[in-house]
Amino acid sequence: MPVATEVREDGPRSKRARILTVAIEQFGRVGYEHTKWASVAGEVGIGQTALYHYFESKAHCLLTIMRLELTDSVERFRVGTAGIPDPAQALRSAIDASLRGEPIDALQRRILQNHMDILSTPRQSDKEEAERLRSRELVAEIEKNWADLIKRGMDEGIFVQGDPVLYSRLVLGALVSVWRWYRPGGPLSLDDLIRTVSDSAIRMVTAP
C-alpha cells in the first residue's frame, strides 16, 4: 500500500508508518471528524504527545495520507499504461490499476475523496500547507495524464471527438465515486466492479 513506500524520516525505530496505517484504518472506518487523535496514539502504543514528533496535527496526518494516495495514483497510472499502444486497452488497464488494491487501499482512497475540499483552502501551518500544495500538483498531474490518454484515442479515431479534459473528468468522476459506496468483501467482487466500470468508461469515450 502507499504507506509502505513512505520514507521513514526518523530512522528504523520510527513509528511514522504505523501511525499512518492506524490513522487510515480509523479515518476510513470511523470518519476523520469522529476519530480522536488520542485513539490513534493508543493503538500505535505511544503517548499522544509522541504523535507530535511525527505529525503536528490530525489535519497534517490527513493531508499526508491524501498526498501519499495521490502519489500512488500517479504511479499506478504510469505502470498500468506503460507499453500499451492501443488507447482503449491502455484505458482499461489504467482503470484496472486505479481500482485494484487491498481493503486498506480502499479506505485510503475513500479518505482522499471524502476530503478533497481541504485542498482548496490554504493552511496556516507550513507543514500542512506543503502537503496541500503538493497534493494539488499531483491532482493536476493525474488529470493531465488521463486527458492525454483520451486525447491520444481521439487523435487515432478510436474515441469520440470532443474535449479530452471534459471526458477525462467524466471518467475520473466515475472512478472516484466508487470509493464512496464500494466495500471490499461485499456482494460485488472487485473483478466484477473493475469490468463494469471499464465497460462503462469505454462506452463513454468510444466513437460509434
Q: Which amino acid is at 130?
A: A
Q: What is the pTM of this model?
A: 0.91
- In the structure grid, which three cell numbers stand for residue 104, read together? 486498506
> 181-201, pLDDT tens digit by residue?
998 888 999 999 999 999 999
Q: Which of 198, 67, 179, 199 has the alpha carbon at shortest distance from 128?
A: 67
32 band by pLDDT with thresholds 50, 70 and 90: very high
Task: Determine the pLDDT at residue 14.
Answer: 77
Task: Determine the pLDDT at residue 27.
Answer: 97
Percent of the chain, pLDDT > 70?
93
Strands (DSSP E) contained in the chain are none
Mean pLDDT of the chain: 92
Region 111-138: mean pLDDT is 97
How many degrees, rounded to 5, is the angle at CA 103 between CA 200 and CA 63?
Answer: 90
5 pLDDT above the threshold of 60: no
For domain 58-205, give the fold. Tetracycline Repressor; domain 2 (1.10.357)
Q: Do residues 48 and 37 touch, judged by C-beta distance below 8 A?
A: yes
Region 18-41: mean pLDDT is 95
The 8-class DSSP code of residue 116 comes to G
Q: Return phi, psi of residue 206, to 5°.
A: -85, 135
Domain range summary for the chain, segments of one domain joined by +? 58-205
Q: Which residues contact 67 (CB under 8 A, 6 or more apart)?
A: 131, 134, 135, 138
